[in-house]
Amino acid sequence: MRKTYLLFWKNSLNRYSINALLGALETKKLLNNFEIIFFNSIQDLNISFKSSVIFCFSFCSFNIFEIYKIVSTLKTKYKNSIFLAGGPHPSGDIYGSLCFGFDFVFVGESEESFCLFLDNFLNGNEFKSTPGVAYLEKENVKINKNKKYVDLNQYFPFSKSLMRFGPLEITRGCPFACKYCQTSFLFGTKVRHRSILTILEWIKFFKSINLTDIRFITPNALAYGSRNGREVNIEAIEELLTKIREILPYGRIFFGSFPSEVRPEQLSEKIMRLLAKKIDNKNLVIGAQTGSERMLRSMGRQHTLDDVRSAVRLAVKYNFIPCVDFIFGLPGETKEDEQDTILFMQELTQLGARVHAHTFIPLPGTPWEDKSPGKISIDVRRAITRLISNGKAFGNWERQETEAEKLVKFWRNKFDLQGYL
């Protein structure tokens, strides 16, 4: 059988998704059937292919201009290829992504559907009806429902043969479903954990290849081992960190810092004592998003400002730098809410926190997808600029403000692409 070319578009934002997909293909022993190629731009693909070609794009909303340009060009150049899309943006805007020129969209988590689809393709079987896949039929979207959630223990998180590694995903799903965030809508509200046994197998393997900095992917590090993601299972977290440390006495464990974070109401003295003993990160990423109690309720955060104050104090007490996430330009925010946020950021930074500043982007698939992109008022702009100049804040909030408007216009006017190409 001639090999099929499987081409992955890669950039800095989708490498974790590509790792998971390749890990899944390796788990199902499908990887060897493919010639895997990674590319970032059209220029990387100055080649002609001798057999079937499948292009795979996993992307978020920030990438859509780039994706649109690349896919339009590739579809002209490689006419008989198949174009697959997955990830947060296509899962939230299935129709728009199919209109971009993708043949199939993989909705939500895709380890299972991706493997099944490719297996059917390789064996010459019908692959359109794969659960979790969407496509256009006479201009209507057909979605093959997929009711099953992926069991993380059933799939490798990485491909050993391709030596593609990164942060290890330990938990998927989030019960909080904050209105601006795609996590719960993409992965569901039920938390699923990779078992300690499976994690330790990977840690031993990392040690064998001298990878001794360990980072984790999880919506909330303190949810590890929890039955519902709301109650902290301190025993599970302690066991996880202790056993990793036993394997890597001189390694570094990053827990609750990028690319994960912690929920403020879940930090306690007991947890902080444990973290201070077991982990190596200096920063602890804490989600707050606003300084207004009213806005916390409106966005469904399910914690209070006092929870954030207390989390920041605790983090500082145990010698961590709390990096607190804020989102500006939230839907329905009033002048009073903005003033509350400015005062709250000042209060937290005086306690020792750093502000990680973001601008609201209405993301497809979330309850706030139809809201207007965030606009930053003069008062907030002044306040955040002052904090940045004092080294107390950082973030891409300005770029996000400019991009958000452009992006939203683009995906809401799917048939009006003028001016974007």
Where on the chain is the footprint of ligand SF4 (CB under 6 A)?
174, 176-178, 181, 183-184, 219-220, 287
- Least separation in angstroms between residue 261's CB and ligand SF4 is 7
Do 244 and 214 contact (CB within 8 A), yes or no? yes
Written as six digits, the tokens of 407 are: 């992006």
**Minimum Å distance from CB 175 to ligand SF4?**
8
321-328 and 283-289 beta bridge pairing: parallel
User: Residue 417 CB, nearest distance to ligand SF4 (Å)?
Assistant: 31
Q: If you search the block for the tokens 């040690």, which residue do you land on?
A: 207
Q: Which is nearer to ligand SF4, 175 or 251 (CB)?
A: 175
Closer to ligand SF4 by Cβ: residue 319 or 396: 396
Round to whole Å and give the CA distance between 193 and 168.
Answer: 11
Query: By C-beta, is 327 or 383 nearer to ligand SF4?
Result: 327
Shortest reach from residue 185's CB to ligand SF4, in Å: 9
CB atoms closer than 10 angstroms to residue 343: 13
Least distance in angstroms from the C-beta of 237 to ligand SF4? 17
Q: Which is nearer to ligand SF4, 275 or 288 (CB)?
A: 288
Question: Based on CB atoms, which residue is closest to ligand SF4, 25 or 178?
Answer: 178
Nearer to ligand SF4 among residue 57 and residue 176 (C-beta): 176
Smallest separation (angstroms) from ligand SF4 to the CB of 162: 29
Q: Shortest gap between Cβ of 229 and ligand SF4 (angstroms)?
A: 8
Q: Which amino acid type is present at position 276?
A: A
Q: SS3 for 259-295, per residue?
A: CCCECHHHCCHHHHHHHHHHCCCCEEEEEEECCCHHH
- Nearer to ligand SF4 by Cβ, of 110 and 366: the residue is 366
Could you list the beta-strand ranges (E) of 173-289. Answer: 192-193, 213-217, 252-254, 283-289
DSSP annotation of 248 reads -
b/e code 27-56 from CB counts within 10 Å (16+ = b):
bbebbebbebeebeeeeebeeeeeebbbbb
d(CA 399, CA 377): 15
Residue 407, number of CB atoms within 10 A of its CB? 23
Cβ 62 to ligand SF4 shortest distance, Å? 17
Which CB sits closer to ligand SF4, 55 or 344? 344
Backbone angles phi, psi at 303, to 5 degrees: -145, 175
How many angstroms separate the CA atoms of 103 and 114, rounded? 14
Residue 175 CB burial class (10 angstroms; 0-12, 13-18, ≥19): middle
